Amino acid sequence: MLAYLLLTYTFCLRQSYINKFEFSNAEMSQLWETFEQATGNRYRIGDVMNTWTRQMGFPVVTVRHVTGNEYLLNQTRFLINPDDQFDPSDSPYG
């Protein structure tokens, strides 16, 4: 999704980010800010990407064949430690 959105800005983005943070470290927010600047602040990249990067666990969908044309889908969150607990109310992103 992000790659498609920024496709036309790739060269400008690459040069800007490398020059700005050469020989140093960048925070995630600075990366999103650089992306936004490369698009002329046309898109709020940080707002979009925070919904992915600030939440615990990626969605995992498993599909099980039941019979004929019937399938059972189940969605869970991928957690490196399966004993970790996730409470959606802990995240402002849901």
pLDDT at 66: 94
pLDDT at 20: 82
Q: Are residues 11 and 47 in the same domain?
A: yes
State the residue for tokens 């700005």.
20
Provide the residue type at 58 as one letter. Answer: F
User: What string of pLDDT tens digits covers the 94 residues of the chain?
Assistant: 666 666 666 656 667 777 888 888 888 899 888 888 888 888 888 888 888 777 777 778 899 999 999 999 998 887 878 788 777 777 776 5
State the residue for tokens 């995992």.
60
Q: Are residues 28 and 69 in the same domain?
A: no
Q: Are residues 64 and 44 in the same domain?
A: no
Closest-CA residue to 49 (of 73, 24, 30) = 30
Q: Are 50 and 44 in contact (CB under 8 A)?
A: no
pTM: 0.56
| Per-residue tokens: 12 | 């400008």
Give me the domain span that covers residue 79. 58-90
Q: Which residues of 31-46 are buried (b: 16+ CB within 10 A; e: fewer)?
A: bbbbbbbbbeeebebb
Domains in the chain, number: 2
Q: Are residues 6 and 47 in the same domain?
A: yes
Q: Are residues 7 and 47 in the same domain?
A: yes
Q: Are residues 68 and 47 in the same domain?
A: no
Q: Are residues 34 and 76 in the same domain?
A: no
| Per-residue tokens: 43 | 């898109």
Q: Are residues 7 and 49 in the same domain?
A: yes
State the residue for tokens 């960048």.
26
Q: Are residues 10 and 47 in the same domain?
A: yes
